[in-house]
Structure 1
Amino acid sequence: MINVYVFRKQNAITAFELSGHAESGPYGHDLVCAAVSAVSFGAVNAVSELCQIDLDIDQGEEGGYLRVALPSHLEQSTKEKAMLLLEGMVVSLETIERDYGEFIKIHYK
């Protein structure tokens, strides 16, 4: 099971954390894991590149763990761009959860 934790402060995403493995298929053919990885890493790369933000990233060496936090002080326009990208990630993860809820669970804190 992949657990996704989305951390918010004043309705803005401050961080997110993914942990676990979907185990929805054999290694290398796990579509849920591939989808979650693509969505989350795509969002991280987009925020980093398009918003020019140095994110705080903690990643497990053998997969199964990713934690990303935004810096606490961002210009308002940069924060708004980052929020839009991260909210898009959450919508995509919610879609995966809706269709494959036995393999992924999203928690909001």
Structure 2
Amino acid sequence: MICAEFFTRPDGDLVGFRISGHSGSGEEGNDIICAAVSSAAYMTANTVTEIIGVEAQVAAEEGYMLVRIPAKAARDCRVLFAGFKLHMLGLEEQYSENINVSYVEV
């Protein structure tokens, strides 16, 4: 199962996410659920660091990604993180046996 955790501040601002696991819905390299999550996560991470220019903590390896921004950058990334969260919630609704979205207050 893919676990997607969104880091939220007490005021509700999103300040990052962590994704881990595999959906198990197909063979490696042919799993459309993993591909959808991975593509959206990398697009979000690249937009944060390369387009918006935030000095973010980013770590990625097979089956894992972490993106965490400083609280002062939350406003700059608000729309991007909201869109990514909406995308992940839609995937969770469609593939509830393969994806779990949760929230961690930081």
Q: TM-score by structure 2 length? A: 0.90
5+ unaligned residues in a row in structure 2: which ranges? none
- Over the aligned positions, Cα root-mean-square deviation in angstroms equals 1.2
Identity across matched positions, percent: 29
Amino acid at match of 2:99: I
Equivalent residue number for residue 2 of structure 1: 2
**Distance apart, 1:80 and its partner CA:** 2.4
5+ unaligned residues in a row in structure 1: which ranges? none
Equivalent residue number for residue 25 of structure 1: 26
Q: Which runs of 4+ in 1 moved over 3 A?
A: none
Instruction: Provide the rounded CA distance (Å) in 2 between the counterparts of 1:81 and 1:72.
Output: 10
Equivalent residue number for residue 64 of structure 1: 63
**Distance apart, 1:33 and its partner CA:** 0.1
Equivalent residue number for residue 105 of structure 1: 100
Q: TM-score by structure 1 length? A: 0.88
Instruction: Provide the rounded CA distance (Å) in 2 between the counterparts of 1:58 and 1:52.
Output: 16
SS of the aligned residue for 2:25 comes to: coil
